[in-house]
């Protein structure tokens, strides 16, 4: 997807010089003002790098950065940022215009990787290896072209102070749900309490939307969510620890370790005791990086290189009781989504294992959810280099767009639960 976006970017002239987000926008009010999850703390308009001003068409002429109140994994109030796009083409389907919350895939763990910053740049580059293009532009603009408004969350700690809560089930799910609330409360927003809402994400975003879908009933029951598309879902962090090891995405496992270390103090002694001095250097380094740099510096290495005794992170998860408990808490599939879900998964995904996505679908079916499990049947291509993960995001996109449109039109959702 990043390669596709680079091609699009090369052929489209920015509407105006790219405007980097001012640092003070991301300064969180201290203390946070009293309020409720989803309250808007601040907002500002800006032109996306790929924009066509004053033109009716799928390319937006403007966007709003937002900072909104959300909740961390422990129930404490936090500030999260994001971007709201209002579609410039009409919604021609049934009912009022819908809002889609797009949960982004892995961006990195450095604050410079926040989508609300990257949407303002065609290409982000700081020498020597800090390079990013916002590949979620493809999915965002595909949704906008259908007349759906879109809000993209940055998640907790990406752009705002603190360590990005990478892979944390509750923190990511709450950030998604509160992004929807924030748009309904944004001054001048055309999205209100009655507008239908969809959740949309792939990879890290698939995990975030899957989590949001099953947390909605207890956390945001008032939201009019009609359906959730969750692709390439990392539903089981323990399984991820095995699959990522030795591949291009090994550094993403380090993001998760950093998030656990920062968010769960009871694990710090265990992690410190198991991590070698070199491993600590790696974890500190990737905490400041975007995904491309992490891949370039650490891809195809083994997590055993980071530990004192040469055990892998997967083995240490099993051996360290506090870490094991936190990792188990991140597993998705123990609560019931109240709206239909489309899970899309590549049979030969080499970043997110097929089996744990299949288990998620089966778990939700047993709980009574309406689930369609869409298998992307692609052959294994260069295993370990993430091709098997990236390609299904593109092959399923047209169907996922139609599936979401049907949910907004009130078409009964298909289910594969009894197949």
The confidence score (pLDDT) of residue 291 equals: 98
Is the distance from CB of 14 to CB of 156 less than 8 angstroms? no
The answer, yes or no, to whether residue 15 has pLDDT greater than 50, is: no
Tokens representing 278 are 């070199």
The confidence score (pLDDT) of residue 14 equals: 33
What whole-number distance in Å separates Cα of residue 321 and Cα of residue 319?
Answer: 6
DSSP letter string, 107-161: -BSSGGG-HHHHTT-S-EEETTTEEE--THHHHHHHHHTTT-EEEEE--TTSSSS
How confident is the model over 310-324, as a mean pLDDT? Answer: 98
Tokens representing 47 are 């032109």
Backbone Cα Rg of the chain:
20
**pLDDT tens-digit readout, 41-53:** 999 999 887 766 6
What whole-number distance in Å separates Cα of residue 125 and Cα of residue 129?
Answer: 8
The answer, yes or no, to whether residue 128 has pLDDT greater than 70, is: yes
> CB-hemisphere CA count at 13 Å for 78?
28
The confidence score (pLDDT) of residue 62 equals: 80
Which residues have C-beta within 8 Å of that of residue 278, sequence separation ≥ 6?
A: 305, 306
Domains recognised in the chain with CATH numbers: 2-19+36-235+333-408 (3.40.50.1820), 237-329 (1.10.260)
The torsion angles phi and psi of 153, rounded to 5 degrees, stand at -80, 150
The answer, yes or no, to whether residue 138 has pLDDT greater than 90, is: yes
Mean pLDDT for all residues in the chain? 93
**pLDDT tens-digit readout, 81-120:** 999 999 999 999 999 999 999 999 999 999 999 999 999 9
Is the distance from CB of 301 to CB of 244 less than 8 angstroms? no
Of 219, 256, 281, which is closest to residue 75 (Cα–Cα)? 219
23: confidence class by pLDDT, cuts 50, 70, 90: low
The confidence score (pLDDT) of residue 10 equals: 32
How confident is the model over 204-212, as a mean pLDDT? Answer: 99
The torsion angles phi and psi of 164, rounded to 5 degrees, stand at -60, 130
**pLDDT tens-digit readout, 214-270:** 999 999 999 999 999 999 999 999 999 999 999 999 999 999 999 999 999 999 999
The confidence score (pLDDT) of residue 278 equals: 99
Query: Could you report how far apart the first and last alpha carbons of the chain are, in Å?
Result: 31
**pLDDT tens-digit readout, 391-412:** 999 999 999 999 999 999 999 9
Tokens representing 419 are 């197949």
How many helices (H) and strands (E) in the chain?
A: 15, 11
What pairs with residue 153 in β-bridges?
A: 82
DSSP letter string, 333-374: -SS--SS-EEEEEETT-SSS-HHHHHHHHHHHHHTT--EEEE
Classify strands 149-153 and 77-85 as parallel, antiparallel or unpaired.
Answer: antiparallel
Which residues have C-beta within 8 Å of that of residue 174, sequence separation ≥ 6?
A: 37, 70, 71, 72, 212, 215, 219
Is the distance from CB of 232 to CB of 346 less than 8 angstroms? yes
What whole-number distance in Å separates Cα of residue 244 and Cα of residue 302?
Answer: 9
**pLDDT tens-digit readout, 387-396:** 999 999 999 9
**pLDDT tens-digit readout, 215-225:** 999 999 999 99
Is the distance from CB of 341 to CB of 370 less than 8 angstroms? yes
């Amino acid at each position: 997807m990043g390669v596709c976006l680079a091609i699009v970017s090369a052929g489209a002239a920015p509407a105006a010089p790219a405007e980097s987000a001012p640092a003070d926008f991301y300064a969180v009010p201290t203390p946070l003002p009293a309020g409720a999850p989803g309250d808007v703390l601040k907002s500002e308009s800006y032109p996306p790098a790929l924009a066509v001003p004053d033109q009716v068409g799928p390319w937006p002429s403007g966007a709003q950065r937002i900072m909104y109140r959300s909740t961390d994994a422990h129930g404490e109030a936090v500030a999260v940022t994001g971007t709201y796009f209002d579609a410039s083409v009409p919604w021609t389907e049934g009912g009022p215009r819908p809002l889609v919350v797009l949960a982004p895939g892995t961006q990195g763990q450095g604050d410079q990787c926040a989508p609300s910053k990257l949407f303002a740049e065609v290409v982000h580059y700081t020498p020597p290896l800090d390079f990013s293009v916002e590949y979620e532009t493809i999915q965002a603009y595909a949704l906008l072209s259908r007349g759906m408004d879109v809000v993209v969350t940055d998640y907790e700690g990406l752009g705002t102070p603190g360590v990005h809560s990478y892979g944390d089930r509750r923190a990511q799910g709450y950030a998604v749900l509160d992004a929807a609330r924030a748009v309904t409360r944004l001054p001048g927003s055309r999205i209100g309490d009655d507008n239908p809402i969809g959740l949309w994400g792939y990879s890290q975003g698939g995990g975030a939307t899957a989590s949001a879908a099953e947390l909605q009933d207890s956390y945001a029951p008032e939201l009019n969510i009609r359906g959730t598309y969750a692709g390439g879902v990392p539903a089981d962090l323990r399984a991820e620890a095995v699959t990522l090891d030795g591949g291009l995405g090994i550094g993403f496992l380090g993001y998760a370790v950093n998030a656990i270390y920062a968010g769960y103090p009871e694990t710090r002694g265990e992690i410190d005791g198991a991590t070698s001095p070199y491993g600590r250097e790696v974890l500190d380094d990737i905490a400041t990086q975007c995904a491309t740099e992490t891949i370039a510096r650490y891809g195809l290495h083994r997590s055993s290189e980071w530990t004192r005794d040469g055990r892998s992170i997967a083995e240490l998860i099993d051996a360290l009781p506090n870490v094991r408990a936190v990792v188990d808490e991140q597993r998705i599939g123990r609560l019931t989504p109240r709206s239909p879900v489309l899970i899309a998964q590549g049979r030969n995904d080499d970043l997110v294992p097929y089996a744990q996505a299949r288990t998620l679908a089966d778990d939700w079916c047993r709980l009574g959810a309406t689930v369609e499990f869409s298998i992307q049947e692609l052959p294994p291509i260069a295993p370990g280099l993430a091709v098997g993960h990236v390609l299904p995001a593109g092959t399923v996109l047209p169907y996922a767009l139609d599936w979401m449109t049907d949910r907004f039109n009130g078409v009964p959702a298909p289910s594969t639960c009894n197949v």
